Structure 1
C-alpha cells in the first residue's frame, strides 16, 4: 500500500475528510510523538518525511497544522466517525 501524500496543511472541514482517514496513522504517530515530547524536527523527518533544514518555516507549519488536526480528531472528529458507523 502506498503512503498517502501530504498537503502543507490538512483540510479544516468541520467533519472528517477523506484526507483525515488516509492520514489517521500519521495523526496517531504525531500524537504519540507529542506525548513523548519529541522534537518537531525529528518528527517531521520520520513521520512527515520532510527535511526541516531545507525549509524550516514550511515544514514547521506542516507539522503544527497536522498535529492540530490530529488533536481535533481526538476532541471532535471522532464523533463524526461514530455517527458514520451508526449509519451503517
Structure 2
C-alpha cells in the first residue's frame, strides 16, 4: 500500500464494498481523524468542516451524509483491522 495522503479529496459518500478499496487506502488519515473526533465528542458539523472540508451550513444534507458514511466506513475498516495494520507495515 502506498503512503496515504494527509488531506485527500473526500467523496460525498464513502464506499460500502465488502472489501477494502483504493479509496479506503487513500483515506486512512481521514478515517483516523473521524474516529478520534468521535472519541473526543466533537460536534459532527465541526468535524465535517475541518476533516471532510464540506460546509455544513451551506450544504447540511451533503455534509451530514458524508460524515455518517465516512464514520461508518472508518469503523468498518477498524473492525476489519486490516487497513491500519497494513498501513503501518510499509
TM-score range (shorter-chain normalised) is 0.7 to 0.9
Structure 2 gap ranges (5+):
none
**Structure with greater helix percent:** 1
Larger Rg computed on CA atoms = 1
RMSD: 2.1
TM-score by length of 2: 0.82
Structure 1 gap ranges (5+):
none
Match of 1:24 in 2: 28
**Residues 48 and 58 of structure 1, relative CA distance in 2, 3 Å threshold:** same
Q: What is the aligned counterpart of 1:6 among 7, 10, 27?
A: 10
Equivalenced residue count is 83
Contact 1:15-1:80 within 8 A present in 2 as well: no
TM-score by length of 1: 0.83
